Amino acid sequence: MPLTADSLQAKITHSFTQRFAVHVTRIPLVIVLFKDIEIGKNATLTLSSKAKSLWANDIRIHSGGRLVITSGYIKIRAASVRGNLA
Protein backbone atom coordinates (compact mmCIF):
# COMPACT_ATOMS: atom_id res chain seq x y z
CA MET A 1 0.00 0.00 0.00
CA PRO A 2 1.58 3.33 -1.06
CA LEU A 3 2.07 5.99 1.59
CA THR A 4 0.76 9.42 0.66
CA ALA A 5 2.09 12.65 2.14
CA ASP A 6 -1.27 13.54 3.69
CA SER A 7 -1.91 10.12 5.23
CA LEU A 8 -2.21 9.54 8.96
CA GLN A 9 0.86 7.27 8.91
CA ALA A 10 2.98 10.00 7.32
CA LYS A 11 1.80 12.57 9.88
CA ILE A 12 2.54 10.25 12.80
CA THR A 13 5.95 9.32 11.38
CA HIS A 14 6.83 12.97 10.74
CA SER A 15 5.75 13.98 14.25
CA PHE A 16 7.79 11.15 15.80
CA THR A 17 10.91 11.89 13.75
CA GLN A 18 10.73 15.60 14.58
CA ARG A 19 10.63 14.82 18.31
CA PHE A 20 13.29 12.12 17.98
CA ALA A 21 15.57 14.26 15.79
CA VAL A 22 16.33 16.51 18.77
CA HIS A 23 18.13 13.59 20.41
CA VAL A 24 20.04 12.29 17.40
CA THR A 25 21.49 15.47 15.95
CA ARG A 26 24.96 14.37 17.02
CA ILE A 27 24.87 11.36 14.71
CA PRO A 28 26.24 12.45 11.31
CA LEU A 29 24.72 9.52 9.39
CA VAL A 30 21.06 9.80 8.45
CA ILE A 31 19.47 6.85 6.66
CA VAL A 32 15.93 7.12 5.33
CA LEU A 33 14.08 3.77 5.25
CA PHE A 34 10.83 3.14 3.41
CA LYS A 35 8.97 0.12 2.16
CA ASP A 36 7.73 1.68 -1.10
CA ILE A 37 7.98 5.27 -2.27
CA GLU A 38 5.46 6.62 -4.75
CA ILE A 39 5.91 10.19 -5.95
CA GLY A 40 2.61 11.28 -7.46
CA LYS A 41 1.96 13.27 -10.62
CA ASN A 42 3.67 16.70 -10.41
CA ALA A 43 4.71 15.98 -6.78
CA THR A 44 8.19 16.50 -5.33
CA LEU A 45 10.03 14.48 -2.69
CA THR A 46 12.97 16.46 -1.30
CA LEU A 47 15.70 14.80 0.75
CA SER A 48 17.70 17.17 2.93
CA SER A 49 21.46 17.43 2.86
CA LYS A 50 21.59 15.44 6.11
CA ALA A 51 20.27 12.31 4.37
CA LYS A 52 23.18 10.12 3.27
CA SER A 53 21.29 6.99 2.26
CA LEU A 54 17.79 6.16 1.00
CA TRP A 55 16.58 2.55 1.31
CA ALA A 56 13.32 1.47 -0.26
CA ASN A 57 11.77 -1.57 -1.83
CA ASP A 58 10.33 0.18 -4.90
CA ILE A 59 10.53 3.81 -5.98
CA ARG A 60 7.89 4.93 -8.48
CA ILE A 61 7.91 8.45 -9.92
CA HIS A 62 4.80 9.43 -11.88
CA SER A 63 4.69 11.90 -14.77
CA GLY A 64 5.98 15.31 -13.67
CA GLY A 65 7.11 13.95 -10.29
CA ARG A 66 10.58 14.79 -8.99
CA LEU A 67 13.04 13.34 -6.49
CA VAL A 68 15.21 16.24 -5.31
CA ILE A 69 18.42 15.57 -3.40
CA THR A 70 19.96 18.66 -1.80
CA SER A 71 23.26 17.03 -0.86
CA GLY A 72 26.14 16.32 -3.21
CA TYR A 73 25.92 12.55 -2.76
CA ILE A 74 23.37 10.03 -1.59
CA LYS A 75 23.36 6.24 -1.77
CA ILE A 76 20.04 4.82 -2.99
CA ARG A 77 19.31 1.14 -2.36
CA ALA A 78 16.11 -0.03 -4.02
CA ALA A 79 14.85 -3.16 -5.73
CA SER A 80 13.50 -0.97 -8.54
CA VAL A 81 13.25 2.66 -9.58
CA ARG A 82 10.64 3.41 -12.24
CA GLY A 83 9.58 6.72 -13.69
CA ASN A 84 7.02 8.36 -15.96
CA LEU A 85 4.19 6.02 -14.96
CA ALA A 86 0.86 6.94 -16.53
**pLDDT tens for the chain, residues 1 to 86:** 566 777 777 777 777 777 776 665 555 556 666 788 889 999 999 988 888 888 888 999 999 999 898 888 888 888 898 887 65
Residue 79 covered by a domain: yes
Residue 49 covered by a domain: yes
Residue 59 covered by a domain: yes
pTM recorded for the entire structure:
0.57
Residue 65 covered by a domain: yes
For residue 13, the model assigns a pLDDT of: 76
DSSP secondary structure string, the chain?
----TTSHHHHHHHHHHHHHHTTSTT---EEEE-SEEEE-TT-EEEE-TTEEEEEEEEEEEETT-EEEE-SS--EEEEEEEEEEE-
Tally of structural domains, the chain: 1
Owning domain of residue 60: 28-85
